[in-house]
Structure 1
Amino acid sequence: MDWRPTACVLCACNCGIEIKLDGRRFERIRGDKAHPSSQGYTCEKPLRLDHYQNGRDRLTHPLRRRPDGSFEQVDWDTAIREVAAGFAAVRDAHGGETIFYYGGGGQGNHLGGSYSGAFMRTLGARHRSNALAQEKTGLFWVADRMLGTITTGDLDHCDVALFVGKNPWQSHGVPRARPTLREISRDPDRSLIVIDPRRTETAELADIHLAVRPGTDAWLLAAMAGVLVQEDLIAHRWLEEHAVESERVIDALRRVPISEYSATAGVEERLVRDAARRIAAARGVALHEDLGVQMSLHSTVTSYLDLLLMVLTGNVGRRGTNNPPILFGPLVTYSHWGRGRDRVSPVVGARVISGLVPTNVIAEEILTDHPRRYRAMLVESANPVHSVADSPRMRDALDALDLLVVIDVAMTETARRADYVLPAPTQFEKWEATFFNLETPDNYFHLRRPVLDPPPDADLLPEPEMYARLCEALGVVPDLAPLREALAEGDRTAFSAAFLGMLADPALAKIASVLLYRSLGPTLPDGAAAAASLWPLAHKLAAAHPESVRRAGIEGEGPQLGEHLFDAILASPSGLVFSKDAPDDGLGRLGTPDKKIHLTIPELVEEIENLGAGPAADPEFPFVLSAGERRAFTANTIFRDPAWRKRDPSGTLRISPADAARLGLTGGAMARVTTRTGSVEVPVEIHDGLQPGHVSLPNGLGLSYPGPDGAPVVTGAAPNELTAAGDRDPYAGTPWHKHVPARVEAVTI
């Protein structure tokens, strides 16, 4: 009982950890050896999670803004009644589609977000966004049109690991990142290929490091794909069996000027050819791309070229390659094959991918006199004032709303602008889970139990309870006696029939999660009411993939299999493997109607054909700033207390030795970084891993946090004070945070 199992909440891996308490403080933290994925591994970042749990800006009571701009405490009955009435008033006056939802839980707390849809659908809200729309939607769009699903790399069984714009040594994002990287790099029969402008910790381990010039990844990848076609290294027989619509893209790649594109990318043609040949010769290649390209120029085209490398060499749907994962919950929703056309945002007309409006257009959708503009916003466990491009404009947009409600655990930069702030327990004070179940061939799910109770002097509600009360305040929750009576019979067979019968009413189907929370929830063991929304997901998964679930050790047939899976989740405090792939099962999960890979995306093929010369330099802003580099002591911004950082406490500007010498900068000196939207002064770190002309600032800094005397202190530079919302990908609207034109000057005193 001294060590309590839970999980890290700092990246998508959500490694299992155990916490030992000293009162309300986290005395010690270690990896949980019983966790089926991380198996006791953890990096250094979660070891200081007490800085999150016991932050000085912790919210403890519902708050309402006074006319003078200050906040006052209110009771929950008042907060729920007024928030529900406020959103209903906007709906009645302007329509539900003018209500916007942002968030859904961040890295670790998705369970609460699974209830938000009940309230939003009841209001008629149609538009939402979150951090995925800053990073992954270009990849989602490409993968949907090619495969009808997403894929993830099987690093455990590949003989070539390909990382594009990704440094898992620091950003993680793959299970047991550092041991896995070491294992691959030390194995003479395996290879590690890294595409990154910087000589990162991962690049240091690589067999081949393609040190691409910042912003030219599309040229490099087009050259690599050109090598595959022009040297006839593609998997012809595999493509004939599993792919269609290949002629146009192969013809375009046949005409790629490999030497010219390699030179544009700043990489020796010899290395480009070596990397392409190694990929073609591999038994299995696992690809992982990340923010380094997903937040840079030509990001959607780059994602397309990444997938082309995999498909042209037959590295999809097999052991050791990229496979469609079996997702426990609907992390990604698709539109192309089911709808045939893309939805767009109401004002800007931006493409809505996987149900998400691009974050870079949110301010434009608000700051207008358009009748369909967003007028009210609910923000849950997110901080768009700090995390979305062009923070000054985002502040103006939120201030222009008729109503802003924020659900969070801390008084964030966004919460300070809200009309109502609703406090939630931390991720360690409530039942929680994540739907980032992207592993292959084994998938795991972790329903996390509370490590400790909320503070005794706080008045908090978990998000499922908030949404249930908000729906009740709108008068849409019916008498649930029939459901409760069915549960009283002792098993869930009668309950299932009664619940499905109730969902025949479309109005009640909108609030299905709340119906479960109020009926099934109280019957779950140890206060696990929030887990009620997992029950239908377990049944849906068991029905769709029964053999995979049974291979994971869950027994049963038909509905019984879903029940046993749900019960196993409730009974597994360190998580469990819920499905196991058989070798080469992945191609059966393609989401295209013909179960084939569709190689040609016409508009992206045109982009490849017309890449032309490299990105044009701006003499006024000669540097490329990477705004938001992940380092050893940076993480997502639930770490608001700057004291958590043992190294680089102020967030240095990393700059190459050549540039530092030219500008007269020394380590620790102050430099001024100026972009088209802002300017900051930061200390300098001379770093030989950067190319001349390339500088970087870390993510996670620039937050306002109470100092020891309670006065707010801002430590480091907030990257989005320097970025522009208009600098975004033309297809997905994702920001170009990794390619910000900048000027760097020495600060003279």
Structure 2
Amino acid sequence: MCGNSCGIQVMVEDDHIVKVRPDKRSPFSRGYVCNKAQAVGSYQHHNQRVLSPLKRGADGSFEAIDWDAATGEIGKKLRKILDEHGGRSIALIGGGGQANHLDFPYAVSFLRALGSRYHYNALGQEYTQKYWINGHMFGSEGLDFHADENRCDVLLIIGTNPWISHGMQRARLVVREISNDPNRKLIVVDPRRHETAKKADVYLRIRPGTDIYFFLALINVIVKERLCDEDYVAKHTTDWDEVKWVADLVTPEKAAPLCDLEAEQIRDVARTFAKAKRAATHIDLGIYHNIYMMENVYLERILLAITGNIGVPGGVVFPEGFVSAVLPEGREETWKTRIAGIPQIRGFFPPSALPEEILAPGEDRIRAVIVEGSNPLRSYADSKKFEEAFKALDLLVVIEPAMTEAARLAHYVLPAKTGYEKFEASLFPKGFPEIYFHLRHPVCKGPELAKQECEIFSMILQKAGVDVSGLLPFSLLKQAQASDEPPVLSLVRGACMFFAAKHRDALKQNGIITGEGDAASELFQAILDHPEAVHLCDTLDDNNLDCLKTADGKIHLAVPMVLEMLKELAIPEEVDTTDHEDFPFVLQTGERTNYTANTIQR
């Protein structure tokens, strides 16, 4: 239910999960779990499971129909919409849950086969600012880093509480290890002295919404006191001379009253971070969903770059995944939403923009929506507007294990297997320099008529008369169906071919393959033989920046639009702290509870 996907062991009786415990054999979580894992039985077993394909009648009630009839009717209606209005009239929302990612390549390929790029996903409004910045600085919106928490000397945490949100692998153990090590330093900056802050060596209670002045003041100290890593900047970055002026915007003395901090506190943090052999940052939704979010994400990367901490051990690193090689390649063009003109970022659109794309009049409005692995009426803002929009569609299909609020509005509801009833995996990288892959085996049978998402997408496209021969995920699926292999294993088998070709020597060195037979087959068998996950191999510490996608292989520090925003930044003399009689509270949303399951929540 979360991106970490810690290894667990489950006890199953009569096809029910009755007990959950951490899997100490897991090479990446090593016996660590949080309370989310303990609750998986409740998400698996409930009275809202969809047991068969359903069709909604004119009176709003649902009747069970067979798969052939359901996919046939859906395919016929999709074909009519395609013929009359084209692919731009079709959208998909969801596509892959937090730990159930093996349907994602099929969801994307399904949408492409229909001639659409309108993919609405939580990532389209959760992390878009950092994806956009990554695209300009690193050459790819999908190239993201995380802190090398296990090897950093200094960890600066801003806008997140990993002790509760578990936003990193083995979060509480990592926080405790850094806090207890006299040679390492944990710095937490947050308006609230939360659980992680209580473990910090240095805690700064910053005023909400003033992070931009804090970042600018850190950069000011580092530049003015000549603490930059000049060799790193010269070798691995471009355009520093065009960017350096941002260091003049805010001094610690200027930032201190705005941030409700002491100037010397800011100086101490800047010096500690810059002088550390290796330092890393860990920021999350407290920054990403705050004012000046674009500027803050950019300034964090400038801070890391000028101190030589991007793509190095103990800094922030670009981890390598396993299945990315078989994901669909880049888009032919960047689409935009029809009404607000919002461009795709990392291939996604923000779900909150979908209702107006459906409701606003026009020949090219969205007329058909496929909901898969998502519950928009529960997960996204303005449920009433979503309800109004969904009722206005010509076709709404929900592919789901549960009869959700969105499913109750659908024309068709198609029962999907849960992640405990099929082979599944999380595609998020789980370490550095280690590369892990965890292929979870099915532990429950589930409803007899439930199918995997890849099969459902394939059936609908076939009934719509859409050619999928040029799409790799569906080609692999066809091979699996011909050999009677569990469907998504074909995707894993295909990924093994790419991965083994790239990492043959490292796999051999780690004992995963012999180097004498078919490397891909040996790798596939090793993955199957280790349901607790397998440590495939390690990447090399000294070549992490080789993954940059910029033409010159360097970090591009100048992002013109953000620099213009910083030039126009109105820096106040003081912050108005007067309570507003109509708005007496400051509301900060994000990963703040033990029970957040994001769009997996039902």
Q: TM-score, normalised by structure 2?
A: 0.93
Q: Which moved more, 1:247-256 or 1:167-176?
A: 247-256
Unpaired runs of at least 5, structure 2: none
Give the 3-state SS of the residue equivalent to 1:352 in structure 2: coil
Partner of 1:517: 477
Give the 3-state SS of the residue equivalent to 2:587 in structure 1: strand
Unpaired runs of at least 5, structure 1: 1-9, 478-506, 641-749
2:114 to 104, 115, 123: 123
Alpha-carbon distance, 1:472 to partner: 2.3
Change (3 A) 1:275 1:307: same
2-structure distance, mates of 1:558, 1:270: 62
Change (3 A) 1:475 1:394: closer
Change (3 A) 1:209 1:109: same
Alpha-carbon distance, 1:533 to partner: 1.5
2:103 to 100, 112, 133: 112
In structure 2, give the amino acid aligned to 1:453. K
Alpha-carbon distance, 1:189 to partner: 0.5
2:252 to 237, 242, 258: 258
1-structure distance, mates of 2:221, 2:75: 59
Alpha-carbon distance, 1:178 to partner: 0.9
2-structure distance, mates of 1:151, 1:391: 33
Alpha-carbon distance, 1:343 to partner: 4.3
Quick check: 1:324–1:590 contact (8 Å CA) kept in 2?
Answer: no
Give the 3-state SS of the residue equivalent to 1:102 in structure 2: strand
Alpha-carbon distance, 1:294 to partner: 1.2
Q: Which moved more, 1:322-331 or 1:460-469?
A: 322-331
Q: CA RMSD in A?
A: 2.4
2-structure distance, mates of 1:436, 1:590: 18
Q: How do residues 552-591 of structure 1 correspond to structure 2 at under 5 angstroms?
A: 552-555=510-513, 560-591=518-549
2-structure distance, mates of 1:129, 1:551: 42
* Per-residue Cα deviation, 1:655-706 (whole angstroms, up to 9, x for no partner): xxxxxxxxxxxxxxxxxxxxxxxxxxxxxxxxxxxxxxxxxxxxxxxxxxxx
* Per-residue Cα deviation, 1:357-385 (whole angstroms, up to 9, x for no partner): 12232222222113322221111111112
Partner of 1:529: 487
1-structure distance, mates of 2:581, 2:507: 58
Alpha-carbon distance, 1:103 to partner: 1.0
Alpha-carbon distance, 1:552 to partner: 4.1
Q: How do residues 334-353 of structure 1 correspond to structure 2 at under 5 angstroms?
A: 343-353=335-345
Partner of 1:193: 187
Partner of 1:81: 72
Quick check: 1:193–1:206 contact (8 Å CA) kept in 2?
Answer: yes
Q: How do residues 364-375 of structure 1 correspond to structure 2 at under 5 angstroms?
A: 364-375=356-367
Is 1:221 the equivalent of 2:215?
yes
Alpha-carbon distance, 1:128 to partner: 0.3
1-structure distance, mates of 2:47, 2:260: 47
Alpha-carbon distance, 1:233 to partner: 1.3
Partner of 1:467: 457
Quick check: 2:221–2:251 contact (8 Å CA) kept in 1?
Answer: no
In structure 2, give the amino acid aligned to 1:62. P
Change (3 A) 1:221 1:599: same
Q: Between Structure 1 and Structure 2, how many residues are aligned?
A: 594
Q: How do residues 683-698 of structure 1 correspond to structure 2 at under 5 angstroms?
A: none
2-structure distance, mates of 1:548, 1:181: 31
Change (3 A) 1:234 1:547: farther
2-structure distance, mates of 1:159, 1:283: 7
Change (3 A) 1:573 1:75: same
Change (3 A) 1:24 1:535: closer
* Per-residue Cα deviation, 1:183-219 (whole angstroms, up to 9, x for no partner): 0100011111222222111111111223222222222
* Per-residue Cα deviation, 1:35-93 (whole angstroms, up to 9, x for no partner): 11001111122112211111221211111111112222111111111111122221111
Alpha-carbon distance, 1:238 to partner: 1.2
Give the 3-state SS of the residue equivalent to 1:277 in structure 2: helix
In structure 1, give the amino acid aligned to 2:43. Y
Change (3 A) 1:360 1:556: farther
Quick check: 1:219–1:611 contact (8 Å CA) kept in 2?
Answer: no
Alpha-carbon distance, 1:94 to partner: 0.7
Higher relative CO (Cα under 8 Å, sequence separation at least 6) belongs to 2
In structure 1, give the amino acid aligned to 2:203. H
Bigger fraction of residues in strand: 1
2-structure distance, mates of 1:68, 1:266: 59
Change (3 A) 1:108 1:63: same
Is 1:310 the equivalent of 2:277?
no
In structure 2, give the amino acid aligned to 1:80. T
Quick check: 1:158–1:319 contact (8 Å CA) kept in 2?
Answer: yes
* Per-residue Cα deviation, 1:306-350 (whole angstroms, up to 9, x for no partner): 111111100012111111111223399997xx98x9543333211
Is 1:282 the equivalent of 2:242?
no
Q: How do residues 391-406 of structure 1 correspond to structure 2 at under 5 angstroms?
A: 391-406=383-398
2-structure distance, mates of 1:161, 1:36: 24
